[in-house]
Structure formats: C-alpha cells, structure tokens
Structure 1
Amino acid sequence: MNLDNKIAIVTGAASGIGLAIAKRYAAAGGRVAIADLKLDAAQAAADGINADHPGAAMAVEMDVTSEDQVNAGVAKVVDAWGGVDILVSNAGIQIVNPVENFAFADWKKMLAIHLDGAFLTSKAVLPHMYAKGSGAILFMGSVHSKEASPLKSAYVTAKHGLEGLARTIAKEGGKKGVRSNLICPGFVRTPLVDKQIPEQAKELGISEDEVIKNVMLGQTVDGEFTTVDDIAEVALFFAAFPTNALTGQSLVASHGWFMN
C-alpha cells in the first residue's frame, strides 16, 4: 500500500510511535506534518525524514489541548501543502495512581491530552476532508480501549472514549468520504512505557522485572513487546485502505494479550 503524495498530520510525532508512523508514511509516498508540543524536537524529526525523503516532512508546534494552537497548526499545513488527507491523533501521556490517590488535576490533564486533543484535531481537519470528499482519521487507542488495568483510571477512561469518538466520526463522515478507525497497541517499548515500569513497581510492591514479565507481557502469547514498526504498519493499512469497508473498526496489535 502507498499514500501517493497524500498529506498527513501526526500528533506527538517527534518520538516513539508517532515518529515511526511519520517515517512509514513518508516511505510510502506521503507528506507528513510532525505536530508536537516541542517545536525543536519536531523540526529534528522532520529534518531526519527529509534527509531520506526530501520535502516529505514539515514541523508544526502544537499543544493538542489548545484550540488556537490546533487550528493554527492545521492552517499552517493547509497553507503549505493545500489540504489534509490523514490525521493520526497520537499525542498522549501516562500517569499511574490508584483512584483514591489520583489527583483531579492529573485526571483532567490526561483526558485533555487524549480526548480533547483527538476532538480538537478532528474538528479542525474535517472541513478540509469534507471539501475534498475523502480522508482518514486514526486515533491511537490501546488495549486499554478494551480492557482495564489497575492504577490507570484516567488512561483507560480516555482510551475507551476514543473508540466512541472514532465510531461517531465514522457515522458522520461516511457519506462525505471520510473514514475513522482506532488503533489499539499492546505495550510498546517507548519512553512512555519505560516511565511506567518503576512507577508500577513502586505502587504494586514488586520488582521492575516482574512489572515487565507479569504485568505488561504476562497475557501475551510470546512475552514480547509490540514494536513501533508494528503499529506504523497498522497505521499505513488504515490510512491507505481504499474504501469505507473498515470504517469505525478498531484493530488490536498486542501479541495476543487481547483478542477480539
């Protein structure tokens, strides 16, 4: 599958899963806006992609919880390249705590980045997609869009919410040529996951090795982490799929941790 010069915005794309998706899109012939809270990191990521695929990437500073920054970032991409064909709402963070100790400010921050960010970026790109009569919106869910785990109340709530948003956009956008899907990775070894290992070890009173072996990978079929490249391939599949046949669907990539 290829993207034939289609224009994508990927949030949280300066590192981790977002960067892997941006690189895969560029390799498949697309143009990618690296939207990230840190403009210098976004520019470095774009420069790296352009070294291999000249002109395929640009950097955009974007706090996905700010409607003004989201709108300005989308406008920058449209002004530069003429439209938006693909949105990957990937920006996210993780905070772990039991519910009774979960600070309300942290709860609001988690939902703002994951849910408000997905809503605001979708709202900003949809008029451009509707005008073209085509588009694909992808949300980065999680196995936690399907399952719950201790200590992750805000994350689980947000990731469940993204499935509802994806389905609603699929219903609204179908007749206008816009598809929407949810990607649900298992544990992917990124800085976000690395940060959780000592936090969960402390909260659960177990070793970091036990967190990895039993908590993160205990339900997989092979004890392996999902990779950023695995998720990038799923993101390419959904972005390049030619019809509405799969719209509104989620795809879990978790080494068998969760099976639909």
Structure 2
Amino acid sequence: MRLDGKVAIVTGAASGIGREIARVFLREGASVAIADINADAATATAAALDPSGSRTMPLPMDVTDEAAVDAGTAAVVARFGRLDILVSNAGVQIVNPIVEFSYADWKRLLAIHLDGAFLTTRAALRQMYRQKSGSVIYMGSVHSKEASVLKAPYVTAKHGLLGLARVVAKEGAAHGVRCNVICPGFVRTPLVEKQIPEQAKELGLSEEDVVKKVMLKNTVTGEFTTVTDVAECALFFAGFGSHALTGQSIVVSHGWYME
C-alpha cells in the first residue's frame, strides 16, 4: 500500500472530492483526519469510511479560524503521532457578475480558499519540518489556469494557490516537504450542482445547456471529471517518492484545459 503508516489531514472531507480522497488514502494504508466545518457530517463520514475508528478521526474545523486550525492539527498529531500529508480541499463557490458581487461574499470566498490554505499549511509545516518530511496538496481548479465569467473571487483564489504552492515548495525543500496543486475540471459535486441553476439564471440558458455548452463544452469527451479521478491524482502526489515534481500542478479535466 502506497501510504502505509502515513497520517493525513483532508479538509472539506465530509463530502464530495474530500471524502473520496479520504477513502482512497485509507485504502492505501493511511490514517486520515476527516476535517470539515460540519461536525456531524465529519463524524458520520469517519464512521462510514472506517467503522473500527482505528484509522480515522473526525475533526470539526473552520479553516478560516486560526485557533481552530492550530488546535485541530495539534489534536491529529497527538492522536496519531505525526502528520505526513495535508490536502487543503475545503472550498465554496459563489456565482455573480463582478458589478453585483458583494464585498462580504468576495472576502468570504477568498478567506476559505486562500486564508484556509495558508492557515492549514502553516500548522502542518510546523510538524512536517520537525519530521523532515511531508506532502502538501492544494485543490486548485482549471480556474487556476484560466478565467470564466461570474467567478471573479474563485478564479482569483485558485490562481493564488499556484503561487502559494511554489513558495511552499521552495521553502519546504530544505525540510523534506513537497507541495503540489491538483486542478480539476467540473466535478459533479454538490458545489457544482448548485452552480447549474445559478448559471442558467445569469446566462439565460437552460440547465441542460449550462452543462453541455458551458461546463463541458471544451472537454474532449463531454464528460464530467469524477471524484475518483481527482482522488487518484492526490494519491499520486502524496505517494510520489522524490522532490522531482514539487511545485508542479496537474490539470484533471478531460482535456478542457491542456498545457
């Protein structure tokens, strides 16, 4: 098993992509803290993925709360003795034209995506540096590479994660820490399901046309990326055996964006 004996924190792990990453990591031998702002969902997910409770830990966590992040990370290290992998996956989406975007919504989205990545990274690095090893993985997006209408703060945040990852890769190298970004296309999670009627309303399209003519228009297969596609990429980064790929990103999008 590729992650045997490793310990991971996955944020936003009670559903969607985060839950699947947790499942795959457990399959490959890791112990996983199921971090999520929804405490009940985190507990339910941990129990479902590991009924024995021996290799999971529900971790209620608001990633924008500095004290909660630091305390939660310390609790994971106290429980499992180490921390090898951080997957910063927690995120939200708010769709609106720039001229109608409230400043409060702008700040909220940037806080969850960027402040959350910073705070969880800082907490994780303190332990990883002590161990002289670790892997930090950010959940970016195709929107880390290009823009779409109605998503100004999301695109801004996802671009920002590339910059943060490159700094972590450079600073972390001397301490045995790698950092990477996964950039999925549209994955049919609750976050994306919510966008379909919102974009239909803003763009004056049917929901079917939003899927076919907006979300999947530029893919080579007309297919959504799956949570398993993304989780297997996270496993690839987490289990990679050297620093050869540190600072790099991978686009997982059925050809929507190629580089």
Which residue matches 1:81? 80
Which residue matches 1:17? 17
The residue type paired with residue 250 of structure 2 is L
Alpha-carbon distance in structure 2 between the residues aligned to 1:141 and 1:170: 16
1:80-126 Cα distance to aligned partner (Å, 9 max, x none):
11121000000000000000000000000000000000000000010
Shift of 1:4: 1.3
SS in 1 for 2:50: helix
Which residue matches 2:107? 108
The residue type paired with residue 131 of structure 1 is R
Alpha-carbon distance in structure 2 between the residues aligned to 1:105 and 1:225: 31
The residue type paired with residue 241 of structure 2 is P
Alpha-carbon distance in structure 1 between the residues aligned to 2:46 and 2:53: 10
Shift of 1:54: 5.2
The residue type paired with residue 15 of structure 1 is S
Alpha-carbon distance in structure 2 between the residues aligned to 1:79 and 1:60: 13
Shift of 1:5: 1.4
Corresponding residue pairs, total: 259
SS in 2 for 1:58: strand
Alpha-carbon distance in structure 2 between the residues aligned to 1:228 and 1:57: 20
Which residue matches 2:212? 213
Structure 1 length normalisation: TM-score? 0.98
Counting only pairs closer than 5 Å after superposition, residues 155-194 of structure 1 correspond to structure 2 as: 155-194=154-193
Counting only pairs closer than 5 Å after superposition, residues 61-76 of structure 1 correspond to structure 2 as: 61-76=60-75
The residue type paired with residue 63 of structure 1 is D
Question: Are the counterparts in 1 of residues 46 and 53 from structure 2 also a CA contact under 8 Å?
Answer: no
Which residue matches 2:236? 237
Shift of 1:237: 0.3
Which residue matches 2:39? 39
Alpha-carbon distance in structure 2 between the residues aligned to 1:54 and 1:246: 33
SS in 1 for 2:171: helix
SS in 2 for 1:8: strand
Alpha-carbon distance in structure 1 between the residues aligned to 2:53 and 2:223: 35
Alpha-carbon distance in structure 2 between the residues aligned to 1:43 and 1:18: 14
Structure 2 length normalisation: TM-score? 0.99
Alpha-carbon distance in structure 2 between the residues aligned to 1:46 and 1:145: 30
Alpha-carbon distance in structure 2 between the residues aligned to 1:203 and 1:167: 35
SS in 2 for 1:169: helix
The residue type paired with residue 193 of structure 2 is D
Question: Are the counterparts in 2 of residues 49 and 56 from structure 1 also a CA contact under 8 Å?
Answer: no
Which residue matches 2:153? 154
- Verify: 1:6 aligned to 2:6, yes or no: yes
Which residue matches 2:124? 125
Which residue matches 2:50? 50
SS in 2 for 1:218: coil
The residue type paired with residue 137 of structure 1 is V
The residue type paired with residue 28 of structure 1 is E
The residue type paired with residue 155 of structure 1 is Y
Question: Are the counterparts in 2 of residues 94 and 110 from structure 1 also a CA contact under 8 Å?
Answer: yes
SS in 1 for 2:82: coil
SS in 2 for 1:166: helix
Task: Report sequence identity in percent.
Answer: 64
Shift of 1:215: 0.4
Alpha-carbon distance in structure 2 between the residues aligned to 1:217 and 1:183: 19
SS in 1 for 2:200: helix
SS in 2 for 1:13: coil
Q: Structure 1 residue runs of 4+, over 4 Å off? A: none
Alpha-carbon distance in structure 2 between the residues aligned to 1:55 and 1:223: 41
Question: Are the counterparts in 1 of residues 138 and 181 from structure 2 also a CA contact under 8 Å?
Answer: yes
1:132-164 Cα distance to aligned partner (Å, 9 max, x none):
110000000000000100000000000000000
Shift of 1:58: 0.7
